[in-house]
Structure formats: structure tokens, C-alpha cells
Structure 1
Amino acid sequence: MSSTVGPDEYHQRLAQVREYLELSQEKMAGRLGTSLRAYANYERGERAIPIDVVRALHEQCAVDPVWLLTGEGAMLLDRDVRYRLDQRTLDAVMATVERIEKRLQSPLATKKKARLIGLLYEQCRLLGEDADDILSDARIDRLTRASR
């Protein structure tokens, strides 16, 4: 996806990324490790985007830094090129799944457990939320209910 704004308007590309990911400014700020006020200022072009935010966009959202700064190329890097498991997120997801299994009368079937781990991990990475916060997702509820 090429940029529709000029090369000097990288703050507008930041807003394009957030809208593409369907995140609020508050969630995007949290995901990038910045305050809501600072993030809003980046989007409005009132503050330059610091390199640590550019790095977080790259690591957390697969945003191509060249595209962000110049508008050249594609917004997102190929997922296979940049994909790495985040061990902290994976550990949190595994702990959450263990808590779910303790509440159930019988353990989750292997396939359902794998799907639950994958879904929770993906949602944690995409939304920047804790696994416990995502458990209200209807798909996860359906996975755990069906195995009882």
C-alpha cells in the first residue's frame, strides 16, 4: 500500500497505520509505549515522531520505516520477514491458558488448546492487550465452552 500523502507528511501516515489496524489513539499509544497526548501530537504533526516510536511501529506493527518517513514502498513489511515470537507475550498466554484449564472440569483437547494459544497470542500482539483482557472474545469463549 503506497502512501497518499506527500513525503513530508509522515504524521498523516502514522494515522493511516492506526486506522488500518483499527485501533483507537489510546490503544495505539499504549502499544507504542507513549502517552495518549504525545501520540495525538505525533498524528497532528505538532511533534516529530521519535526514533523509538518508529522502532516500535516496526517491531509491533510491521510498519516499514522507509514508508513511514518517505511514503515510498508498502506500509507493511512482509510478515514472514519480520515475524518473531515475543517470549514475554507467549509466557503470559501460556499462563492464561493454564488458568483456564484449571477452571474446566477436563483439560482442553490438544487441537483446541493450540487454537486458543494461537488466537490469544495473535490478539495480544495485534491489540497490545494482556491475554486476560482478551478472554471476553466470543471465539475464545466458544473454544473453552465446547471442550467442557
Structure 2
Amino acid sequence: MSSTTDHEDSHQRVAQVREHFGLSQDKMARQLGLSLRAYANYERGERAIPIELLRGLYEQFSVDPVWLLSGDGNMILDRDVRYRLDQKTLDGVLVSVERIEQRLEAPLDAKKKARLIGLLYEQCQLLRESAEQILKDSRIGRLTR
């Protein structure tokens, strides 16, 4: 179950990113390929932040997805870190986490989701396997059910 504070804070961080770059809601929405209404709903906390928004903010503005969800770390990834991340692996992890959430009764709270993304990405890098392969491990399967 998500905590109200995490939920509200992550939406405030979406607005903080936009303000950091000096963009209007309309310009930010267009840069992310969203309608103004959808984007505004994310900032107001009326809609949960989807994986696509995390990915778009990361790709367009180098926003750290873990920071956006949890507030831990820095808003903008250091350029060296950004270019060391494996986009294909990160995309696979984000898709896998989304699938896990779809099986849950309630969405993960922002901090747990951020930790899961970070841990799964790290395991993919260490084991040189895809997120789907790692999630097929019966021990992990039991944890994510």
C-alpha cells in the first residue's frame, strides 16, 4: 500500500523538474509526448505516475527515476552516470516492474518501487541476464507474487 506522503511527494517532484527547466506545463507535456490534461493530472497527483513518464523524464531531461519516486539522490543524473546506464536493460526492468505491479492488489509505494527498480537493474548488470530471466527464478517469483 502506498503512503500518502510518498504519493504526494513524487507528484511534487514532477512539478519540481518542470520548474527546474523553466517550462510551462504545456511545453513539458509536449516534450514528453503527453496531453496537457494528462501531464497536469500527474503534477496534481490525480493520476499515478506511470513507467512511461519515468522513462520520458529520464530520456528527455536525465531525471533519475529513483529520485523522482523516492526523493533519494539527485534530481538530475550526473552525465557520466547517465551514459553508463544501459538503456535496454533499464527499459526491460521498467517493463518487468510494471508487470509485477499489475499482479498486485495495490500499486507499490514509490520508495518500494524505486528500490525494486534499482535492485533488479543491479542484478541484471551483475548476472548479465534480462529482467525477465531473473524474474523466472522461482525464489524471486515467490517474492513478487
TM-score computed with the length of structure 2 as normaliser: 0.51
Q: What is the CA–CA distance in structure 1 between the aligned matches of 2:60 and 2:48, rounded to whole Å?
A: 19
| Greater mean alpha carbon deviation, residues 73-82 or residues 62-71 | 73-82
1:15-69: CA deviation from partner (whole Å, max 9, x where unpaired): 0000000000001001111100000000000001110111010010000000000
Is 2:76 the counterpart of 1:76?
yes
Gaps of 5+ in 1: 1-5, 85-148
Distance in 2 (alpha carbons) for counterparts of 1:7 and 1:62: 21
Over the aligned positions, Cα root-mean-square deviation in angstroms equals 1.6
Moved >2 Å (runs of 4+): 80-84
Aligned to 2:11: 11
Q: Distance in 1 between matches of 2:83 and 2:28?
A: 20
Give me the whole-angstrom Cα distance separating, in 1, the residues matched to 2:42 and 2:6: 15
Aligned partner of 1:36: which letter? L
Percent identity between matched residues is: 70
Which one has the largest radius of gyration?
A: 1
The answer to whether structure 1 residue 40 and structure 2 residue 40 are counterparts is yes
Select the structure that is richer in helix: 2
How does 1:1-148 map onto structure 2 within 5 Å? 6-8=5-7, 9-83=9-83
- Render the CA deviation track for 1:108-142: whole Å, top value 9, x for unaligned: xxxxxxxxxxxxxxxxxxxxxxxxxxxxxxxxxxx
Q: Describe the SS at the equivalent of 2:30.
A: helix
Q: What is the DSSP-based 3-state SS (H/G/I as helix, E as strand, rest coil) of the residue aligned with 1:63?
A: coil
Structure-2 separation of matches of 1:37 and 1:7: 22
The runs of 5 or more residues in structure 2 that have no matched partner are 85-145
Q: How many residues are paired up?
A: 79
